[in-house]
Amino acid sequence: MNTWQRFLSALPAALLLAGCAGARGGVIPSDPYAPVQGRTLVLFDGTSLDGWRQIGPGRFVLQPDGSIVSEGGMGLLYYTERRFRDFVLELEYKTESPGANSGIFVRFPEHSDDPWYAVNHGYEIQIDDRGDPLHRTGAIYNFSPAPRLASRRPGEWNHYRIVVTGQRYVVYLNGEKVNDFIGNRGREGFIGLQNHDVDSRVYFRNIRVTPLDVKDAPESLADLFAVREQRAPIRVLVITATHGFRHTDAIETIKQVLPELERTTEFDFDITEELSVLTPENLARYDVLFFANSTLRAEPTEKTDSAVKATRTENVANPVTLAQQKAILDFVRGGKGLAVAHAGLDAFYGWDGYREMVGGGLFEKHPWTQGVRIVVEEKSNPAVSHLGDGFWIRDEIYVLDQNPRWNSRVLLSLDMRSVGVDVGNADDSRDDYPISWIRHYGSGRVFVTKLGHFGDVWRNPDFLQHLLQGLRIAAGRLPAEFAGRRVKETIVRDVWPDDLAVDEKGNVWIAELTGRILRYDAATKQAEVIAEIPTTDPTNIEHGVYGIEVDPNFYQGEPYVYIYYAEPESFVNKLSRFTYRDGKLDMSSETVLLRVPTEPSCCHQAGDLEWGPDGTLFISTGDTGQSSVRPEDELTAEQIQQFQERYKLKGYHWSRLADSERTAQNLQDLRGKVLRINKDGSIPKDNPFYGKPGVRWEIWAYGLRNPYRIKYDSETRRLFIGIVGPDENTTYDWYDVSERGGENFGWPRATGRLFYNEWRPDMIPGYVPPIWEYTYKTGTRSATFGPIYRSDGPYAFPSQFQGKLFVFDWSRKWIKYGDLVNGVFESDTAASVRTDGRQFVLPAKRLANLKTFDVLRETSPISMELGPDGCLYLAEFDGFWRPGPQKKANVSRYCWVRDPDPSVGPEVTVGAGGEATAVRP
Amino acid sequence: MLVARTTRPRAVALPVAALTALFALLAAQPVDAQSGSRSGTRTAARSAQQDSSAAAKTPRDRATVSTFGTKLSDHEAAALLVEMRHLVEQALAASRAAEQASSVAEVKAAADKVFTAVWGIPSGVNGERPAEVQVLGWKERFQVSGEEFDQRWVARYGSKPPQITDPRKLGIQGRGLAVRARLEQIADSTSGRPAAAREAASKALASLNNVIGWVHITRGYKGREAQPRASLTHVWDMPAQFWNSTADTGWLFEVYSQATNILKTDYAGDVAEARKHAADMTALLQKLLTGLDADRNGTIEPKAMEGGLDAALAQAALAGLPVK
């Protein structure tokens, strides 16, 4: 049987392993609260300390509530009746103060009168919220750090669940896994509680143990990852040589751990610091080349950037030569594997081939060296399938200079909630940090993980499982879905698009603010002007053609195009239906479906069109307000002061946007609203205000300033409304969601969740808060919604994008995507916004669960639609009242191309004058 | 008759002390509610002391820029005011008849009559089928030509006068705008009228504004460019109740909305539902005639949020307009 045959015969077992992480640790329940089979022993029932013995100074005192509390110290209370071998220990504890110190000792093997005996011969699961990661609550004291502090505030009970099998110690605190450690001390012993000092009062209760009868409990890392069945060997050349920073602790651990694992797995690791091994002949002996924290430098060429030369390659005596570079690229391109861990990304600056091979980005900085939460994005991938939805780890997180997401399959990414926004990179366009990814390079496979800064990480079972499975994927021994890549192409130039619609055949209908209507034909890839709508000069007032939609039954006998525009002279905004006939819009066919009177003044016309349920049409309208937020130019300081004194509003956010009251809060006016009508212009009887006397029944939602772009999700029946907010340092742009209709989103009495003057939420009828607001403080902004991405088209984006909401900002030029958590865009807002009972007093900051899709450079996103092919179509605007002088405006699209090799040209063909280009993240 | 509030949000819950103070202020002061002159920006809720101080220090002139109605004689203004009442009565008659209509088309015809009474132009909707209604352009609604604004603005958008300038062709709303201008002149402290007449004119203004809305056409600024601005900032310090009422933008617009709704609804032959909507329209018309007791003190007073067209007529007579 040759190697390949051996591999094939081993494949089912490999697949089995892929779904059974840490096979020998499988006794550990995935649900930390799940009952464990076995006979549970109650060590302390709340009434008696029978069977327990106090040693050393201090004591534990029984409390009337069935708990015990530590006093004085340092001493130890331990259960003397029996030793425990494999078991689950559960208990509850609470402290009286943040600095209270205590611990739970397990497996100290002998009776002793000395409390230090347990410290030196067992393991202590620490209680001390003020300690460093190695000595804080959740840590295996002195041995294994807790990546995060999962304890509750002093005075609140905490639940510890400590699972001890073989030499594996897994610790859950309040349902979160906070430690996973392979030890080497005694296999059985006593259980005890520490009374640390006189200032540390810690309560315990409900102490119980369930002994386990575990076969093949892991006695070591090698044991934990042992492969029982026969597999073809995977030969890995591990490079730990460094030119840059040397992660000594990690590298020394690598040199210890990988040989251990080699004993029980199919891996053959050759670990070396010698770069001369990087020859074609030698590399041919291996399946995978593994750069493990190898901060290597590449020999520069004449083309190498001078700054890179100066900062990265100078004084490097033996850089990786050009010949070696070629050998490495050829090795991978030829069908072998490359694995890169942590500082392997702090390497090879100036060598474009390596940069491309690892996904495009190299180390830029490491703002976060701390416990972080990692999100599992590709839950079915065997390298991460053991990690559930996510996990915590203490590590150093790199920020790369480019995002690999757009040409890779991201397996793990950083949960921004775990690092906050005031730490590290506060650039709101840098919110996406993949942690691990795989990709093809030529015929080879690349596995990258950013983890592995600390030595203890390389002994962490979760990390090692991730690494070993990643190496198997890189070796081609485990199947995995690899990346496609995002391709962006311009499909229409010489256009000044304001809004667009994509029909079911992929034809794109484009409206220009100044009146031209164009149609991009998906078959011919040509765009032609099909109408010129007589409208107004938008200069300084924002009027013109606002929105365009195509009838959903366009190809079923209703060839209608719907256009919302300002009628010149009267300045009545009209929604009209036109018939498309013989390649043009028949202007004589115009049927006016809705008239919204307005005035020729600046600004906030909005005007987006969106198909709703049952063939109805949503129209967003702006408040057409000209109010400034603080109209001091009209009112004297004395007037304002008198007003504030009258209402006891000193120190409150001040505004009196009376002009917008007449529109946004006026239910007899169609402005500052989302409206909903039938296709023939009549009023749907299921509109929220239908039948209410004296209210315009077209109104769907109100209290809106400039709802420039809206999107309806037919699956969840929710309408998403992006609100462009006022230009004031204390104000916001925000995003609203209408679930049933009839909502009042508060403008001009509130901006986001910031309420002006005397207004409170309960004073605003029907008030519904936004799902996210963001501040003006970091620059201008204009919050707008793109589509809710759901597609199985030929160019559909991967699963990470399915169901995601797209948002974009015309001012800041970014496009982001994310999803709602508990009905909102979860952000640090929840933690940072405080209320004094009448208003919110701190601004929202940056989102945690929105990731940047792209940031435009020369243009601004102004309209975004999902095409039937899965591509995202984008109207890119430039200029303001008129096209920018460079005429960069265009219509483009983003598609996901599934060819495996980035060197292969895009499958997406291009329109006249356009060319497909892979987007640099 | 008091008409139940229908459309705008419920009354707000200000602290009791604040409510008491606000209503006391509103009741105690002449509810002139409208700019007293072309150069001042007095407000309804502000004290006389506040007025003089504010008028002196207000940096920009925010009074209406329209001259519509400023040349009316007292007799002409009184006649227009009376015509407004006649139009409301005609609309009421049509609406009440629609409550007994035998077809949807009849109800819609009544709604068209109400619509026409409001704006002076027909809705353009005929028969039972729903359709979008006609609207006046901004110049007709505010009676400006454009010359009132920045010349850069005029260069882009022109300065043709409105196509309709006769208030008698502009329905209840157009007449109301014209009469308002005359009442503002009488209420102004420089008018030379006796104080009692000026106070009555202020009260008539407040009631009239409750009907046609408190909105003025003024100048707004985009950068330094003066543009048209439909403004309520001249009553910026009104209490929250005012903004949560429908008086700020005018009860007439509730009537207009109801008529428009009826015209744009596909009743599919359901005349009973159409009749019900007509009954609601009747109630709204009645409210703008009689006003409502917003502060629930048992009387409808000629002040913001309370007085209707009848109160305006009564106070206009006290102000010296020859109302018959």
Nearest to A849 by CA among A535, A509, A390, A447: A390
Alpha-carbon distance A611 to nearest alpha carbon in chain B (angstroms): 19
Q: What is the Cα–Cα distance from B233 to A328, expressed in whole angstroms?
A: 72
Q: Is B24 on the interface with A (CB under 8 A)?
A: no
B249 with A600: Cβ contact below 8 A: no
Across the range B273-288, mean pLDDT stands at 98
Burial letters A847-869, b for 16+ CB under 10 A, else e? bbbbbbbbbbeebbbbbbbbbbb
Q: From chain B, pick out residues whose CB is under 8 angstroms from the CB of A768.
A: none
Beta strand A234-239 pairing with A288-292: parallel
Are the CB atoms for A510 and A495 separated by under 8 Å?
yes
A668 with B256: Cβ contact below 8 A: yes
Burial letters A401-422, b for 16+ CB under 10 A, else e? eebbbbbbbbbbbbbbbbbbbe
Nearest to A549 by CA among A584, A509, A595, A579: A509
Alpha-carbon distance A733 to nearest alpha carbon in chain B (angstroms): 21
Q: Per-residue DSSP letters for A675-738?
A: EEE-TTSPPPTTSTTTT-TTS-TTEEEE--S---EEEEETTTTEEEEEE---S-TT-EEEEEEE
Which A residues 764-803 touch B at CB under 8 Å? 764-766
Residue A916 reports pLDDT greater than 60: no
A693 with B7: Cβ contact below 8 A: yes
pLDDT of residue A777: 54
A762 with B13: Cβ contact below 8 A: yes
Q: What is the mean pLDDT of chain B?
A: 84
B21 with A646: Cβ contact below 8 A: yes
Q: Is B220 on the interface with A (CB under 8 A)?
A: yes
pLDDT of residue A637: 79
Across the range A306-320, mean pLDDT stands at 83
Q: What is the token pair recorded at A2?
A: 């040759």
Q: From chain B, pick out residues whose CB is under 8 angstroms from the CB of A627.
A: 233
Q: How far is CA B175 from the centre of its chain?
A: 10
B227 with A541: Cβ contact below 8 A: yes
DSSP helix/strand/coil, A6: helix
Residue A628 reports pLDDT greater than 60: no
pLDDT of residue A30: 52
Which of B213 and A311 is assigned the larger pLDDT? B213
Which of B171 and A810 is assigned the larger pLDDT? B171
Residue A848 reports pLDDT greater than 90: no
pLDDT of residue A16: 34
Residue A819 reports pLDDT greater than 90: no
Residue A751 reports pLDDT greater than 90: no
pLDDT of residue B18: 34
Across the range A701-719, mean pLDDT stands at 94
Interface A–B counts its CB contacts (< 8 A) at 208
Residue A289 reports pLDDT greater than 90: yes
B233 pLDDT band (50/70/90 cuts)?
confident
pLDDT of residue A403: 92
Q: Report pTM.
A: 0.83
A681 with B264: Cβ contact below 8 A: yes
DSSP helix/strand/coil, B180: helix
Across the range A194-203, mean pLDDT stands at 96
* Residue carrying structure tokens 């034809």: A507
A130 pLDDT band (50/70/90 cuts)?
very high
A656 with B233: Cβ contact below 8 A: yes
Across the range B188-210, mean pLDDT stands at 96
Q: Suggest the residue from A562, A564, A599, A695 to mutate for an interface test with chain B (most B CBs closer than 10 A).
A: A599
DSSP helix/strand/coil, A228: coil
Among A599, A603, A634, beta carbon nearest to B230 = A599
ipTM of the shown complex = 0.85
Nearest to A448 by CA among A427, A477, A473, A429: A473
Q: How many CB atoms lie within 10 A of CB A534?
A: 11
A427 pLDDT band (50/70/90 cuts)?
low
Which of A652 and A256 is assigned the larger pLDDT? A256
Beta strand A805-809 pairing with A409-414: unpaired
Please name every residue paired with B226 in a beta bridge, in sequence order, or none if there are none: B221
Q: From chain B, pick out residues whose CB is under 8 angstroms from the CB of A763.
A: 12-14, 240, 244
pLDDT of residue A85: 94
Cβ-proximal residues to A110 (8 Å cutoff; 6+ apart), any chain: A117, A121, A189
Among B60, B132, B258, beta carbon nearest to A694 = B258
Residue A919 reports pLDDT greater than 60: no
Nearest to A463 by CA among A386, A381, A372: A386
pLDDT of residue A310: 79
Poorest-confidence range of A888-892, A905-909, B176-180?
A: A905-909
B220 pLDDT band (50/70/90 cuts)?
confident
Residue A574 reports pLDDT greater than 50: yes
Residue A94 reports pLDDT greater than 70: yes
Residue A423 reports pLDDT greater than 60: no
A536 with B249: Cβ contact below 8 A: no
Which of A577 and A301 is assigned the larger pLDDT? A577
Q: How many CB atoms lie within 10 A of CB A284?
A: 12
A299 pLDDT band (50/70/90 cuts)?
very high
Which of A818 and A46 is assigned the larger pLDDT? A46
pLDDT of residue A625: 80
Poorest-confidence range of A179-193, A553-567, A602-616, A779-793?
A: A779-793
A547 pLDDT band (50/70/90 cuts)?
very high
Q: From chain B, pick out residues whose CB is under 8 angstroms from the CB of A837.
A: none
Nearest to A721 by CA among A687, A672, A669: A672
Q: What is the token pair recorded at A545?
A: 């053609």
Q: Is B131 on the interface with A (CB under 8 A)?
A: yes
Across the range A755-773, mean pLDDT stands at 85
Nearest residue of chain B to residue A539 (CA atoms): B156
Q: Is B106 on the interface with A (CB under 8 A)?
A: no
Among A601, A647, A696, beta carbon nearest to B261 = A696
Helix orientation angle between B271-290 and B74-98, rounded to the nearest 10 degrees = 150
A680 with B135: Cβ contact below 8 A: no
Nearest to A250 by CA among A351, A170, A369, A148: A369
Across the range B215-238, mean pLDDT stands at 89
A692 with B7: Cβ contact below 8 A: yes
Q: What is the Cα–Cα distance from B199 to B209, expressed in whole angstroms?
A: 15
Across the range A658-663, mean pLDDT stands at 91
Q: Suggest the residue from B132, B215, B249, B281 to mutate for an interface test with chain A (most A CBs closer than 10 A).
A: B132
Question: pLDDT tens digit string along B12-68?
Answer: 333 333 333 333 334 333 333 222 222 222 233 333 233 333 333 333 445 789 999
Please name every residue paired with B218 in a beta bridge, in sequence order, or none if there are none: B229
Which of A654 and A713 is assigned the larger pLDDT? A713
**Is omega for the bond preceding A20 within 30 degrees of 0, making it cis?**
no
Q: Suggest the residue from A627, A696, A755, A764 to mutate for an interface test with chain B (most B CBs closer than 10 A).
A: A696
Nearest residue of chain A to residue B128 (CA atoms): A682
Question: pLDDT tens digit string along A237-267?
Answer: 999 999 999 999 999 999 999 999 999 999 9
Burial letters B27-41, b for 16+ CB under 10 A, else e? eebbbbbbbbbeebb
pLDDT of residue A505: 97
Q: Where are the alpha helices (DSSP H) in A587-657?
A: 637-646
Q: What is the token pair recorded at A668?
A: 């007899």
Q: Is A590 on the interface with B (CB under 8 A)?
A: no
Residue A29 reports pLDDT greater than 50: no
Task: For residue B322, count CB atoms less than 10 angstroms from its CB and return exposed for 0-12, middle for 13-18, buried for 19 or more.
Answer: middle
Q: How far is CA A75 from CA A96, A104, A204, in A?
A: 18, 12, 15
A592 with B230: Cβ contact below 8 A: no
Beta strand A102-108 pairing with A168-173: unpaired
Q: Is A727 on the interface with B (CB under 8 A)?
A: no
Are the CB atoms for B310 and B291 separated by under 8 Å?
yes
Alpha-carbon distance A683 to nearest alpha carbon in chain B (angstroms): 5
DSSP A310: I
B240 with A669: Cβ contact below 8 A: no
Q: Is A645 on the interface with B (CB under 8 A)?
A: no
Q: What is the Cα–Cα distance from A817 to A117, expressed in whole angstroms?
A: 55
Poorest-confidence range of A276-285, A572-581, A848-857, B52-61?
A: B52-61
DSSP helix/strand/coil, A431: coil
Please name every residue paired with A816 in a beta bridge, in sequence order, or none if there are none: A807, A852
